[in-house]
Amino acid sequence: MNLTQEDWVSQFEADEKGVMLDVRSEDECDQGIIEGSINIDFHKGQAFIDEIAALDKSKNYYIYCRSGARSGKTCEIMNELGFENAYNLLGGIIEWNGDIV
């Protein structure tokens, strides 16, 4: 599901089971991440799928990348793997108005 930044943030902050995923590359993450996010590199191919599949399906995932394309695809993959709640940040980190660390 695609969410605007405002909805994505407010829903995440109210979600006791929320986990934030950054699916950018290590080089991209070196330029700054949203605090508290876990990085799983989308470009790792099968290793990426394996890491995603190993995540706790009882959690809710808030996913972002640079522009929203990879995170959108990640949401589709997660839905196919049986995850019920995967939320894509529309516009990605390039449109992010909050803090990065």
- Provide block-wise average pLDDT over 10 residues at a time, the chain (101 residues): 96 98 97 96 97 98 98 98 97 94 94
CA 62: distance to chain centroid? 5
pLDDT of residue 61: 98
Secondary structure class of 22 (helix, strand, coil): strand
Average pLDDT score over the chain: 97
What is the predicted pLDDT for the residue at 15? Answer: 98
pLDDT for position 42:
98
Domain ranges of the chain: 2-95
Q: Any idea which fold 2-95 has?
A: Oxidized Rhodanese; domain 1 (3.40.250)
pLDDT of residue 10: 97
Note the pLDDT of residue 73.
98
